Amino acid sequence: MGTNDAVAYFQSGEAHFKNGNHSMAITDLTQSIKLDPNNARAYCLRGLVRFKSRDTDTNKEIEDFSQAIRLKPDYAVAYVNRASAYAKIDDLDAAVQDYEKAIDLDPKNLFAYAECARIYEKLGAPEDAIDIYGKAIQIAPNDTDLLIYRATLYHAMGKDNETKGKHGDAIGNYNDAIADCTKVIQIDPTNAIAYCTRGLLYKYSNNLDAAIADIEKALKLDPNNADAKKFLANAKRT
């Protein structure tokens, strides 16, 4: 038994994983690793299977991703996967370091940017998160998800600044969020979330007519949008 057998076990493990049979996937990938202990992809995939199966021992998946990185130091996917595992156990500092390393290795990995930004938000570093979103949007300027994520963060920053009495900063945050929502609507005029979010932002900016117009548009696009219904009711009471 040799390399060909290791490949066969790897392929079998990969197939089991795709079919949702995590236990058999781990068994076959473990056998593949025994036959070829230098296969970084096998370690990375076994770690991913463990991660997806919500293995109670997160250290096992982290060790698999770490071994994949030891074998292949430029393995961006392994860094992304290990970052996700660290985030699962709330080791946020380690997670953000791995996401940043993945971005260095693969500057077009939009998933790594988005997840890195979210970790920065959890760490209470919104400016760093905004910077990461900005870099991602430079790469993919028409990615509506990234624009919505950033708009949502600007919105939260605005509310925080309002609480702190920094009204000028809050208005700046709201305007930045409105600009992102407007860009989303230009790209996708059927995006109810963008209309709903922009409507709320207009309300915070004391532009009630624009707020109601956007929220009504959101409801036309998505009649079951609970947030839009709530916002419209609140706006009309103001």
What is the value of pTM for the model shown? 0.88
Q: Which two tokens stand for residue 67?
A: 């071994």
Q: Which residues contact 165 (CB under 8 A, 6 or more apart)?
A: none
The domain locations on the chain are 141-238
Q: For the residues of the chain, what is the DSSP string, one character each?
A: --HHHHHHHHHHHHHHHHTT-HHHHHHHHHHHHHH-TT-HHHHHHHHHHHHHTT-S-HHHHHHHHHHHHHH-TT-HHHHHHHHHHHHHTT-HHHHHHHHHHHHHH-TT-HHHHHHHHHHHHHTT-HHHHHHHHHHHHHH-TT-HHHHHHHHHHHHHHHHHHHHTT-HHHHHHHHHHHHHHHHHHHHH-TT-HHHHHHHHHHHHHTT-HHHHHHHHHHHHHH-TT-HHHHHHHHHHHH-
pLDDT at 217: 94
> CA torsion sign, 86 to 90 to 92 to 96?
positive
pLDDT at 237: 60
pLDDT at 235: 58
pLDDT at 41: 97
Quickly name the fold that domain 141-238 has: 1.25.40
pLDDT at 3: 63
pLDDT at 206: 84
pLDDT at 225: 86
72 and 65 Cβ atoms separated by less than 8 Å: no
pLDDT at 157: 96
Distance CA 167, CA 181 (A): 21
Mean per-residue pLDDT pooled into runs of 10, the chain (238 residues): 80 94 94 96 96 81 97 98 96 98 97 98 96 97 97 95 92 96 98 93 88 93 87 65
Distance CA 45, CA 102 (A): 17
